[in-house]
């Protein structure tokens, strides 16, 4: 079947593509005509996503906190598709805890996975985007990068860092035609958020509360964020860079009385 879409013939790397937002983004990119390399720390899940997509998709194992692993994945991508146009930095973890309670190893893991990985993957991809004459980098930040959440210090700090790193890279990439943006989701129905709820003293009450504070009356779906990534990676956003695009059902707009 011939695909015609907003990302026709583009080559995209999507990290964290084994589940949730990353998986849905890979599916949406393929539907819009892109060749997609699905990367995940758990390689089998990346391969599963690529297999479900079919032609034009390829799954690889990639540790986004490890430069040799990133380089090896990009080498495979370039060999298979000849270039790179779009990067989606989506891999991430959440470890619940206040700053004074967290173990140092947990802090480091969260900052490395959520923030340092954006730097490492973007740095490794940068020369390939320059070779193409420009391209797009878009990352998963969070409303937690703008709006503090109790007992979630490392996650909030890492996502705030993604927002500022996005702005800095946007300035540094402008002359090379590299646009850099991020998406700030609200609470999205993914394995990560399910794990977050499970870590709370009353998981069901936590879910109900999270749903109630979104003015549009529901938790987000991975498709809501994937569509934002399609926009930020397409020609429709050709004059958009350095932007944290909030997609949150109205959550951070103000106090919601319900």
Structural domain range at position 61: 11-243
Residue 254 inside a domain? The answer is: no
> Which class for 199: exposed (0-12), middle (13-18), buried (19 or more C-beta within 10 A)?
middle
Catalytic annotation present for 119: no
Residue 87 inside a domain? The answer is: yes
Residue 135 inside a domain? The answer is: yes
DSSP 13-27: EEESTTSHHHHHHHH
Whether 4 has a pLDDT exceeding 70, the answer reads: no
Domain count along the chain? 1
DSSP 103-149: -HHHHHHHHIIIIIHHHHHHHHHHHHHHHTT-EEEEEE--GGGTS--
Residue 124 inside a domain? The answer is: yes
Residue 61 inside a domain? The answer is: yes
Residue 6 inside a domain? The answer is: no
Among 119, 155, 209, 231, which one carries the catalytic annotation? Answer: 155
Residue 253 inside a domain? The answer is: no
Residue 5 inside a domain? The answer is: no
We report the CATH number of the domain holding residue 139 as 3.40.50.720
pLDDT digits (tens, 9 = 90+) for 128-156: 999 999 999 999 999 999 999 999 999 99
pLDDT digits (tens, 9 = 90+) for 21-78: 999 999 999 999 999 999 999 999 999 999 999 999 999 999 999 999 999 999 999 9
pTM above 0.85, yes or no: yes
pLDDT digits (tens, 9 = 90+) for 199-252: 889 999 999 999 999 999 999 999 999 999 999 999 999 999 999 999 999 999
């Amino acid at each position: 079947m011939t695909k015609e879409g907003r990302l026709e013939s583009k080559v995209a790397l999507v990290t964290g593509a084994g589940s949730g937002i990353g998986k849905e983004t890979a599916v949406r990119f393929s539907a819009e005509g892109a060749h997609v390399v699905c990367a995940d720390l758990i390689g089998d899940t990346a391969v599963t996503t690529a297999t479900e997509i079919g032609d034009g998709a390829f799954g690889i194992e990639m540790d986004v906190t490890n430069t040799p692993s990133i380089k090896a994945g990009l080498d495979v991508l370039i060999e298979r598709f000849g270039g790179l146009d779009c990067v989606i930095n989506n891999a991430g973890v959440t470890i619940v805890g206040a700053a004074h309670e967290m173990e140092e190893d947990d802090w480091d893991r969260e900052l490395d996975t959520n923030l340092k990985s954006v730097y490492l993957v973007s740095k490794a991809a940068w020369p390939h985007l320059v070779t193409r004459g420009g391209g797009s980098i878009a990352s998963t930040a969070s409303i937690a990068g703008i709006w503090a959440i109790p007992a979630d210090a490392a996650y909030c700090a890492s996502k705030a860092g993604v927002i500022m790193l996005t702005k800095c890279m946007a300035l540094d990439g402008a002359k090379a035609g590299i646009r850099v943006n991020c998406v700030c989701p609200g609470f999205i129905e993914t394995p990560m958020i399910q794990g977050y709820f499970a870590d709370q003293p009353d998981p069901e009450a936590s879910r109900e509360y999270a749903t109630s504070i979104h003015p549009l009356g529901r938790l987000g779906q991975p498709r809501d964020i994937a569509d934002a990534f399609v926009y930020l990676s397409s020609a429709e956003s050709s004059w958009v860079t350095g932007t944290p695009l909030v997609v949150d059902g109205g959550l951070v707009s103000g106090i919601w009385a319900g």
